[in-house]
Amino acid sequence: MKPQNHAASFAERLLWALAVLCLLPLGVTTAARHLAASTKLELSPSDAVAFELPSIAEKQPSQVLWSQTRRSEFARLKDLFHRAEIARLEFPTLDVIVPVFAGDDEVSMTLGAGHLSDTSSVQGHGNIAITSHRDGAFRVLKDLETGDRILLQTPSGTRDFRIARRLIVNPDQVDVIAPTSDTTLTLITCYPFYFVGKAPQRFIIQAELVTPESADSMTDAPLVQRLPTLRNRGKRYEKAI
């Protein structure tokens, strides 16, 4: 082989080796991203309906009143869990919006608020119960007054409620989430709002639907299916909210 051909062949092999070395980090980064995406926890409720509104990432709940611990938990969980909203609570007098998720577990109550599954659905009639943490999304409840409006945004439209009563009850007083003949919105959190340790009581807001809807306009689970489960909620209702 002529010297110049040998040199050209060596240079060509060197260039290929450099190209592989340059592309290797990109391949590793891409693989890592795919791995992270594949292992990210997806906990979207089967009955959740996506909103044609800004997502929670674009419209996060106000954290002005939140404790530092709750803010840290929100920052940690929002990137680990994707949970589709089933509704949104809007408090016009406070200019606050809170996303509502299916289930009253820790993730739902940290990212926003959780709907108690064995009460009326967010689009149904009867008693609709929603809960969250007193040092998080539901600390705003302390600033609401009787007569204030609460808007419940659902996939089928916005429901207009007006606060009828504010109550402080013991954890075993589960009658506040009992089925009602009228459409009622019940919001639940722990009380006192600023308390070191597990708060001993519950702060309740109950609001009544301003404009009654026709029976065909909303859906709901049959009342008879919910009655046997009400008293079984005692221990779940007593947990720290």
Q: Tell me, what CATH number does 155's domain have? A: 2.40.260.10
**190 is annotated as an active-site residue:** yes
From 6, 22, 115, 190, the catalytic residue: 190
Asked whether residue 161 falls in the same domain as residue 101, the answer is yes
Asked whether residue 61 falls in the same domain as residue 129, the answer is yes
Asked whether residue 202 falls in the same domain as residue 183, the answer is yes
* Res 13: pLDDT: 63
pLDDT digits (tens, 9 = 90+) for 27-78: 433 433 333 333 333 333 434 444 444 444 445 678 888 888 888 888 888 8
* Res 72: pLDDT: 87
* Res 49: pLDDT: 46
Question: Does 120 score more than 70 pLDDT?
Answer: yes
Question: Does 236 score more than 70 pLDDT?
Answer: no
* Largest Cα span, the chain: 98
Asked whether residue 69 falls in the same domain as residue 21, the answer is no
Residues in the chain: 241
Asked whether residue 154 falls in the same domain as residue 94, the answer is yes
Q: Which is it for strands 149-154 and 87-91: parallel, antiparallel or unpaired? A: antiparallel
Mean confidence (pLDDT) of the chain: 74
Asked whether residue 205 falls in the same domain as residue 104, the answer is yes
- The better pLDDT of the pair 9, 22 is held by 9
Asked whether residue 31 falls in the same domain as residue 65, the answer is no
Nearest in space to 113 (alpha carbons), one of 149, 89, 142, 91: 89
- Determine which of 121-130, 170-179, 231-240 has the lowest per-residue pLDDT on average: 231-240
Asked whether residue 153 falls in the same domain as residue 70, the answer is yes
From 34, 82, 125, 133, the catalytic residue: 133
Asked whether residue 35 falls in the same domain as residue 50, the answer is no
**34 is annotated as an active-site residue:** no
| Residue 186 · residue 177 · CB < 8 Å | yes
Asked whether residue 90 falls in the same domain as residue 11, the answer is no
Asked whether residue 198 falls in the same domain as residue 86, the answer is yes
- The better pLDDT of the pair 146, 27 is held by 146
Asked whether residue 116 falls in the same domain as residue 33, the answer is no
- What is the spatial distance between Cα 175 and Cα 164, in angstroms, rounded to a whole number? 16
Q: Which tokens in the block code for residue 155?
A: 């996939």
Name the β-bridge partners of 166. Answer: 205
Number of domains in the chain: 2
Residue 151 lies in domain: 45-238
Q: Is the pTM of this model over 0.85?
A: no
